[in-house]
């Protein structure tokens, strides 16, 4: 092809030097030849990342080999076996439903690993059959509104909610997506990362003994603040108790369990929607949605957690018409 391009360029250059009319005639002949060649040449499908069977759901997939129905060597006896899916200890659905679900996902999302032990505990077999028929999970209108709202406020991932929803509905069922959206809200961030509270007066009590890093500004004083977080389902508080009086002089911390009823006193702004309970159950699986709380004024709750906890829905601010839906 490169030689053909060079030949055409040379021919046009020679023709232009001799006569402009000859140059135009040669150019018109080349265009006519290209049109005829394209008309009578066999159809060649252009290269595309998109899979025709995906209906635009996952357009930019690298088509990695699926783990579905792959052979592997059992480390216990060294014999080759066929693994139907990841973690096949729980059997809730009929095997035919599992096979139909994984076969479809092998076409729609071949580069996604599906843990069937988790998925079978999130949705019913009827929901799975509906997914196989519709090629996507059914989300309520409220969940779609919450999805668009959270995506529009995400500071790290900029995607068009309308377009990205098409792909995510082929991967995540409604319960899974609500949990993902909820963990991006303030309530979810508290469950995952906890809350830091200041230890007022602790640093100044040492008057320079091992505190040069802080007094000089090299170390932020919050490094010795107390932290409230969930640890293996238990609500705990880790607080700074002082410095080691030995040679190292390193900071020492003490971890204590927190009674849920004392949490509003330790974390200003934390409120239970009903009675005091252990908020850490929000991280359990299968999902435990029994402890509703708020860390916003007037007991306001994020829309995702409203739906998770079964609370009355509040209005979601609509995105402006000029919101750039063309992103990604």
Q: Is residue 162 part of a domain?
A: no
Considering the domain architecture, whether residues 8 and 86 belong to the same structural domain is answered as no
pLDDT of 302 higher than 90: yes
The first and second tokens of residue 262, run together, are 């004392």
For the ranges 143-147, 195-199, 218-222, 224-228, the lowest mean pLDDT is seen at 218-222
Q: Give the H or E element holding residue 257.
A: strand 251-257
Considering the domain architecture, whether residues 267 and 236 belong to the same structural domain is answered as yes
Q: Is residue 320 part of a domain?
A: no
Q: CA 154, CA 146: separation in Å to the nearest integer?
A: 12
Considering the domain architecture, whether residues 64 and 128 belong to the same structural domain is answered as yes
Residue with tokens 């009823």: 261
- Strands, E assignment, 276-316: 293-294
Confidence (pLDDT) at 205: 52
Per-residue pLDDT reduced to its tens digit, 82-125: 666 667 778 889 989 998 999 899 889 988 888 888 999 999 99
Considering the domain architecture, whether residues 207 and 279 belong to the same structural domain is answered as yes
Decide: 23 and 30 in contact? Cβ < 8 Å: no
Choose among 121, 4, 103, 108: nearest CA to 56. 108
Following DSSP, what letter does each residue of 102-171 receive, concatenated?
HHHHHHH-TT---BHHHHHHHS-HHHHHHHHHHSS----HHHHHHHHHHHHT-SS----HHHHHHHHTTT
Domain count for the chain: 3
pLDDT-based confidence at residue 256 (cuts at 50, 70, 90): very high
Q: What range defines the domain where residue 20 resides?
A: 2-40
Residue with tokens 């018409």: 321
For the ranges 54-68, 174-188, 296-310, the lowest mean pLDDT is seen at 54-68
Beta bridge partners of 80: 73
Per-residue pLDDT reduced to its tens digit, 172-203: 999 999 999 999 999 999 999 999 876 655 55
Mean pLDDT for the chain overall = 78
Confidence (pLDDT) at 108: 92
Higher pLDDT, 161 or 224: 161
């Amino acid at each position: 092809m490169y030689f053909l391009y060079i030949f055409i360029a040379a021919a046009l250059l020679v023709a232009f030097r001799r006569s402009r009319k000859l140059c135009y005639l040669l150019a018109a002949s080349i265009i006519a030849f290209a049109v005829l060649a394209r008309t009578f040449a066999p159809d060649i499908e252009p290269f595309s990342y998109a899979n025709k069977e995906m209906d635009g759901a996952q357009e930019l997939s690298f088509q990695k080999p699926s783990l579905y129905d792959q052979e592997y060597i059992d480390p216990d006896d060294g014999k080759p076996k066929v693994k139907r899916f990841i973690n096949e200890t729980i059997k809730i659905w009929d095997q035919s439903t599992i096979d139909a679900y994984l076969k479809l996902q092998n076409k729609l999302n071949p580069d996604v690993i599906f843990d069937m032990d988790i998925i079978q505990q999130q949705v019913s077999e009827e929901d799975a059959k509906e997914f196989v028929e519709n090629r996507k999970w059914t989300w309520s209108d409220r969940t779609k509104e919450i999805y668009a709202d959270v995506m529009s406020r995400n500071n790290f991932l900029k995607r068009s909610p309308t377009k990205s929803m098409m792909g995510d509905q082929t991967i995540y069922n409604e319960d899974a997506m609500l949990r993902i959206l909820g963990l991006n809200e303030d309530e979810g961030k508290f469950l995952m990362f906890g809350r830091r509270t200041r230890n007022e007066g602790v640093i100044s009590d040492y008057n320079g003994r091992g505190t040069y890093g802080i007094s000089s500004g090299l170390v932020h004083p919050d490094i010795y603040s107390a932290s409230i977080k969930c640890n293996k389902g238990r609500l705990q508080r880790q607080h700074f108790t002082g410095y080691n009086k030995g040679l190292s002089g390193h900071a020492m911390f003490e971890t204590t369990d927190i009674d849920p009823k004392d949490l509003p006193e330790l974390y200003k702004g934390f409120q239970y929607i009903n009675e005091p309970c252990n908020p850490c159950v929000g991280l359990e699986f299968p999902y435990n949605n029994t402890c509703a709380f708020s860390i916003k004024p007037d007991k306001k709750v994020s829309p995702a957690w409203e739906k998770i906890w079964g609370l009355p829905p509040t209005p979601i601010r609509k995105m402006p018409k000029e919101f750039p839906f063309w992103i990604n």
